[in-house]
Amino acid sequence: MQTQIKLETISPIQKKFLVTIPADRVQKTVEKKFLETQKTASIKGFRPGKVPLNMVKQFYAEDVKQRALQSLISESYSEALQQHPLRIVGEPQIEGVPHGHEGEEGHQHHHIHIHDGEPLSFAATVEIVPEVEPKDYKGLALEKATDEVSAEDLDAVKKNLLNRKAEMLPVDRAAKTGDYVDFKYEGKLKTDAGFTPDANLSGNRTAEIGSGQLIPEFEKGLIGVKAGGTNTFKMTYASDYKDQNLAGKEAEYTIDVREVKEKKLPEWTEELAKEFGFESSADFETKSKERLAKTKKEENENLLRNQMIEKLIEKNSFEVPQALVYSQMRALADDYANELKRYGFNDQMVQSAIMSQLEDFKKRAETQVRAGILLDSIAKKEKIEAKEADLDAELQQMAAGFGTDAESLKSRFEANPRDRSNFEYRVREELTIRFILGAAKIKEKKAK
């Protein structure tokens, strides 16, 4: 008798194999495993490998049946995948099916055991990449910001440079937005007994008003106070404030302002332009415009692509395999952890930073998985393939980015088939994105 394999569809992302292995194949596998075990079995009074088979069966039955079971499941699962090639994600979930109940809905799943003289039945449930029929991907209505560099953009660059030469001058007037204030503060937290002094809410600091360093409610208490002045005010912390001990609580602060300083920027001159490493003001303008235009072009291109992906996902809804989302989440979290470690975060800090970002990682991972599946299905439908010339062009660009030559990258890919297929997949995805953008209706927004 042949091993029977049936495939059931549970949902667009879940399939179930029902496998029944005939009794004679089960028996043969068990016998084979007993003979293998006999070669290494060691029982007192017998030389290794010379223990009689009936004793091996008596002492090692459980262990041998377990190994036979693993071998039978693994072999027949491979056969099932050969008969029904699926794009499987993650590991299969294996459950036993009681003898005589194969293919019945709603039967109880059991642990799997080998019973002498009986066939072996099990169910393997797998998550798969869904087959998506993509729609509405041609003629997407998209908006793109202009790549033109405005006078305001240039002014902002100039201001950034001048900031390095800024002077901080004490002023004898009320503090306003943009000023640096040096102050002492003492805080009380509202409890059942009224406002109680709290050492954690007291200290000294210097902050720039309006820079986002302080909570806006606290900043309000500083605005309008001169050097030497004091102010007492109440404020309530937001219910989602990052410090759980303060979230939603009311506090009363008394501040003593020691000094108010105003930032004075120097005038822009030809001399300063040279100090900043330019030949002249004109040279500053030319070079800054070039750099800004390049940055803007890249930013706008990224925003346009993200907008395109969002629109595609809106127009194509389908279930996604959670195993793919979780593995993408792990990749995002690993990248983030490595970045934080480079900044000197310790393991505990990294752990808590990742925990606080989990929701965001999940959202991003799901978007990336959906986008990958959609772009793949569009590439198939439009018969988009990465030809040798496309691969070479991408290799040239990558090599320039890494500061190496295309040939050495190429030989690295040739040596590692997995790297090469990932690379081909990426290039095909890039060609698909360009194809969709090429067919989109893109409206350019003018600079304000």
Query: 260 lies in a domain?
Result: yes
CA-wise closest residue to 163 among 183, 150, 178:
178
Question: How far is the C-alpha of 205 from the C-alpha of 183, rounded, in Å?
Answer: 6
Do 435 and 322 reside in the same domain of the chain?
yes
Last residue in a domain, options 69, 103, 128:
128
Model confidence at 418, in pLDDT bands (50, 70, 90)?
A: confident
Per-residue three-class SS string for the chain: CCCEEEEEEEECCEEEEEEEECHHHHHHHHHHHHHHHHHHCCCCCCCCCCCCHHHHHHHHHHHHHHHHHHHHHHHHHHHHHHHCCCCEEEEEEEEECCCCCCCCCCCCCECCCCCCCCCEEEEEEEEECCCCCCCCCCCCEEEEECCCCCHHHHHHHHHHHHHCCCEEEECCCCCCCCCEEEEEEEEEEEECCEEEECHHHCEEEEEECCCCCCCHHHHHHHCCCCCCCEEEEEEECCCCCCCCCCCCCEEEEEEEEEEEEEEECCCCCHHHHHHCCCCCHHHHHHHHHHHHHHHHHHHHHHHHHHHHHHHHHHHCCCCCCHHHHHHHHHHHHHHHHHHHHHCCCCHHHHHHHHHHHHHHHHHHHHHHHHHHHHHHHHHHHCCCCCCHHHHHHHHHHHHHHHCCCHHHHHHHHHHCHHHHHHHHHHHHHHHHHHHHHHCCEEEEECCC
Does the pLDDT at position 237 exceed 80? Answer: yes
CA-wise closest residue to 31 among 79, 89, 71, 78:
71
Do 172 and 55 reside in the same domain of the chain?
no
Last residue in a domain, options 207, 240, 264:
264
CATH number of the structural domain spanning residue 359: 1.10.3120.10
CA-wise closest residue to 317 among 142, 127, 134, 89:
134
The pLDDT value given to residue 108: 45
Do 346 and 418 reside in the same domain of the chain?
yes
The pLDDT value given to residue 110: 58
Do 359 and 433 reside in the same domain of the chain?
yes
Query: 32 lies in a domain?
Result: yes
Query: 398 lies in a domain?
Result: yes
Last residue in a domain, options 104, 128, 152:
128
| Cβ(94)–Cβ(123) below 8 Å | yes
Do 235 and 332 reside in the same domain of the chain?
no
Distance of CA 174 to CAs 216, 223, 331, Å?
17, 7, 51
Question: How far is the C-alpha of 442 from the C-alpha of 432, rounded, in Å?
Answer: 17
Does the pLDDT at position 106 exceed 60? Answer: no
175-225 tens-digit pLDDT: 999 899 999 999 999 988 889 998 889 999 999 999 888 999 999 999 999
Do 422 and 311 reside in the same domain of the chain?
yes
Do 198 and 305 reside in the same domain of the chain?
no
295-354 tens-digit pLDDT: 999 999 999 999 999 999 999 999 999 999 999 999 999 999 999 999 988 889 889 889
pTM of the full structure: 0.71
The pLDDT value given to residue 107: 44
Question: How far is the C-alpha of 409 from the C-alpha of 430, rounded, in Å?
Answer: 19
The pLDDT value given to residue 399: 81
Expressed as residue numbers, the domain containing 439 is 296-445
The pLDDT value given to residue 100: 59
Share of the chain above pLDDT 70, in %: 97
In the predicted model, what is the mean pLDDT of residues 98-127?
Answer: 74
Query: 33 lies in a domain?
Result: yes
Residue 136 neighbours by CB under 8 Å, 6+ apart: 315, 316
Do 438 and 305 reside in the same domain of the chain?
yes
Do 389 and 433 reside in the same domain of the chain?
yes
Phi and psi, residue 435, nearest 5°? -65, -45
Do 257 and 301 reside in the same domain of the chain?
no
Q: Which residue has the higher pLDDT, 298 or 34?
A: 298
39-77 tens-digit pLDDT: 888 788 787 777 888 887 878 888 889 999 999 999 999
Query: 225 lies in a domain?
Result: yes
Does the pLDDT at position 109 exceed 60? Answer: no
Do 74 and 185 reside in the same domain of the chain?
no
Structural domain count, the chain? 3
Do 15 and 79 reside in the same domain of the chain?
yes
| Cβ(327)–Cβ(91) below 8 Å | no
The pLDDT value given to residue 114: 86
Query: 359 lies in a domain?
Result: yes
- Average pLDDT score over the chain: 89
What's the gap between Cα 186 and its chain centre? 42
CATH number of the structural domain spanning residue 20: 3.30.70.1050
Does the pLDDT at position 103 exceed 70? Answer: no
Model confidence at 38, in pLDDT bands (50, 70, 90)?
A: confident
Query: 222 lies in a domain?
Result: yes
Does the pLDDT at position 366 exceed 50? Answer: yes
The pLDDT value given to residue 99: 64
79-95 tens-digit pLDDT: 999 999 899 988 899 99
Query: 390 lies in a domain?
Result: yes
